[in-house]
Amino acid sequence: MDTIINALTQIDAVVWGPAMICLLLGSHIFLTIRTGFIQRKLPTAIKMSLAKDEDAEGDVSQFGALVTALAGTIGTGSIVGVATAIIAGGPGAVFWMWLTGVFGIATKYCEVFASVKYRVKDHKGEMLGGAMYAWERAFKHSDGSVPWWAKLGAVAFAAFAVIATIGTGSAVQSAAITGIIESSFPGVPDWAIALVIAIAVALVIFGGVKSISSVAEKLVPFMAVAYFGGCMVILAINWQYVGPALAMIFECAFTSKAAFGGAVGSGIMVALQFGCARGLFSNESGLGSAPIVAAAAATKNPARQALVAMTGTFWSTVVICAVTGIVLVAVGIANPGLIENGGIKEGAALASAAFATIPYIGTPILVLGMVSFAYSTILGWSYYGNRCVTYLFGAKAQLPYQVFYVIIGFLGAVGIGDAIWLVSDIGNALMAIPNIIMVLALSGLIARETQHYIYDGNLDEVCEDEIPMIESK
C-alpha cells in the first residue's frame, strides 16, 4: 500500500506542478486581456446576482446557481488550504493566492459563458451543461457529427470530474468534518459523525439540483457572513497587528524575508508556487466545475449568468481566502510561539491553534466554518458528479452514483486513507486540461459576444438560440 501511496503522491506532484500552474494562471491572464478586463464589471455582476431573469429558461435562479457553485467552492481549502500555503510558502503566498483570484475571475466568466451557450435539455426538460456539452456542440461538423478529438475532450473531462467528485467532494470533506468535531469534542465516535453526515447529505442530494440549490441559498450566505464576521472580530482584537500583517504579506511575496521569528519564510518562487496552487484550487477557476451548475440557471443570455458566476471567484478567493490569510498572519505575528522553530507543520493545526488564541469565539468560529464549508462542498460536488455520470452513462446511472457518493462520504468520515484523496486530486487537475483547452479555443467567440452583450449595452437581450433536447441513453 505504501508503494501505491508513494506512486500516487509523485503523480499528484507532477499534475499539480509548475506546468499546471502556468497553464491555469497563464489562461487567467490571457482571458482577462481577451475579455477587456471583465473584472471591472464586478459591481454590475454582484447587483445582477441578486435579481431574477423573469421568463428565462432554466431550472434554478441565477442566485441559486451561484450559491450552489459557491457551496462546492468555499470548502476546507478556504481555511486549511490558506494555512497550508502559509506554512509551505510563507506569508507571501497569501498575496499570490489573492492575485490568482483576481485574474481567475475572467476564466470563470469564460467557462460559464461557454457552458450556458452550449447547454442542452434532457427528456424531462432539465438543463444539462458543462465542458462535455460545449466540446460536442461547439466543434461539431455541419452534418451534425462530432469529431473524434472533440468527443475525446468531452469524455475525458466528464470521466476525470467523476473521479474528482468522489474524493474531493465526498470523502475528503467528510474526513475534515470528523477531524474538527473529534478535536473539539473528544469522545464522539467517528461512526456516529459519519452516520449523521450520510443522512444529512442523502436528504438533500436525492432531491436533485432544486433541492441542493434551495439548501445552498440558505446555508452559503449564512456560513460565509458568519465566518467573515468572526474573522473581522479576530482582526479587531488584534487590530495593532493588521498593518504589520499586510506589510509582511506584500514584503514576503517579493523577497526572501523570514517571518514569525524566523520560523516561516521562503523564496519568491516558493511563495508564488504555493500561493498560486492553493488559490487556483480554492476558486476552481479553470477546473470546469461551476459551469456545470451554471448551465441550470434561468438566464436571458450566456453573458448574464457568466457575470453572476464570476462573482463566485471574487467571494471565495479575493474575499474569504484573503481574510483568512490576514487573520492567520496577524495572529502569527501576535503569537510567534505558535509556529516558530517549526512547532506546527500542518495547515489544520495552524488554523486550529491560531483561532484558539482568541478567547471564547475563536474555536467556535473555526468549527462552524469548517463543518458548514465542508458540508456545503459535499452537496455542490454531488451535483457535478451527477451531471457528468449522466453524460457518460445516461439518466439510469444517477441513482447508483448518488448512493455510492453517500457511501464514500460515510467511509471518508470513518477514515478511508490517503489513496482516495490523491486519486481525486489527480482527477481534479486532469479535468482542468480539456476544460481549459475548450475555453481557449472558444475565446475569440466569447470575446465577440461579450462585446455585443456587455460593452455594446445589450445585456438585457434575450438569446434566440434554441436549446436542443438530447436523446436519453
Could you report the per-residue pLDDT of 16-26, keeping only the tens digit for each? 778 888 888 89
Query: Does residue 467 belong to any structural domain of this protein?
Result: no
Mean pLDDT of the chain: 84
What total of structural domains would you count in the chain?
1
More confident residue, 414 or 406: 406
Q: In this predicted structure, what is the pLDDT of residue 118? A: 94
Q: What mean pLDDT do residues 366-388 have? A: 86
More confident residue, 268 or 139: 139
pLDDT tens digit sequence for 240-251: 999 999 998 988
Q: What mean pLDDT do residues 157-186 have? A: 83
More confident residue, 131 or 22: 131
Q: Are 41 and 191 spatial neighbours (Cβ–Cβ below 8 Å)?
A: no
CATH number, residue 75: 1.10.4160
Helix pair angle (268-283, 18-34), 10° resolution:
70
pTM to 2 decimals? 0.89
Query: Does residue 156 belong to any structural domain of this protein?
Result: yes
Q: What mean pLDDT do residues 311-330 have? A: 89
State how far the Cα of 149 lies from the Cα of 322, in Å rounded to an integer.
39
Query: Does residue 343 belong to any structural domain of this protein?
Result: yes
Grid coordinates standing for 155? 469524455
Lowest-confidence pick of 196-210, 227-241, 405-419, 443-457: 405-419
Q: In this predicted structure, what is the pLDDT of residue 416? A: 67
**Confidence at 195, pLDDT banded by 50, 70, 90:** very high
Q: What mean pLDDT do residues 167-196 have? A: 82
Query: Does residue 270 belong to any structural domain of this protein?
Result: yes
Query: Does position 262 have pLDDT exceeding 60, yes or no?
Result: no
Query: Does position 472 have pLDDT exceeding 60, yes or no?
Result: no
pLDDT tens digit sequence for 270-281: 677 777 777 777
**Confidence at 345, pLDDT banded by 50, 70, 90:** low
Q: In this predicted structure, what is the pLDDT of residue 187? A: 81
**Confidence at 136, pLDDT banded by 50, 70, 90:** very high
Grid coordinates standing for 301? 443570455
Long-range contacts of 232-239 (CB under 8 A, 24+ apart): 232/323, 233/358, 233/361, 234/327, 234/330, 234/331, 234/355, 234/358, 234/361, 234/362, 234/365, 235/323, 235/326, 235/327, 235/330, 237/358, 238/330, 238/331, 238/334
Query: Does residue 261 belong to any structural domain of this protein?
Result: yes
Grid coordinates standing for 261? 521569528
Tally the C-alpha atoms within 13 A of residue 91's C-alpha that lie toward its C-beta.
29
Query: Does residue 95 belong to any structural domain of this protein?
Result: yes
Longest dimension (CA), the chain: 68
| Most confident by average pLDDT, 132-136, 277-281, 329-333 | 132-136
Helix, strand, coil percentages for the chain (3-state, nearest 5)? 75, 0, 20
Query: Does position 447 have pLDDT exceeding 80, yes or no?
Result: yes
User: Domain range spanning residue 326?
Assistant: 10-455
State how far the Cα of 301 lies from the Cα of 113, in Å rounded to an integer.
9
Q: Determine what percent of the chain is predicted with pLDDT higher than 90.
A: 30
Q: In this predicted structure, what is the pLDDT of residue 37? A: 95
Q: What mean pLDDT do residues 102-130 have? A: 91
Q: What mean pLDDT do residues 197-201 have? A: 92
Query: Does position 261 have pLDDT exceeding 60, yes or no?
Result: no
Q: What are phi and psi of 339, to 5 degrees?
A: -130, 0
pLDDT tens digit sequence for 27-78: 999 999 999 999 999 999 998 887 776 667 766 777 877 887 777 777 666 7
Q: Are 126 and 59 spatial neighbours (Cβ–Cβ below 8 Å)?
A: yes
Query: Does residue 5 belong to any structural domain of this protein?
Result: no
Give, for 37, the enclosing helix (H) or strand (E). none
Helix pair angle (419-441, 92-117), 10° resolution:
60
Grid coordinates standing for 468? 436542443
Query: Does residue 461 belong to any structural domain of this protein?
Result: no
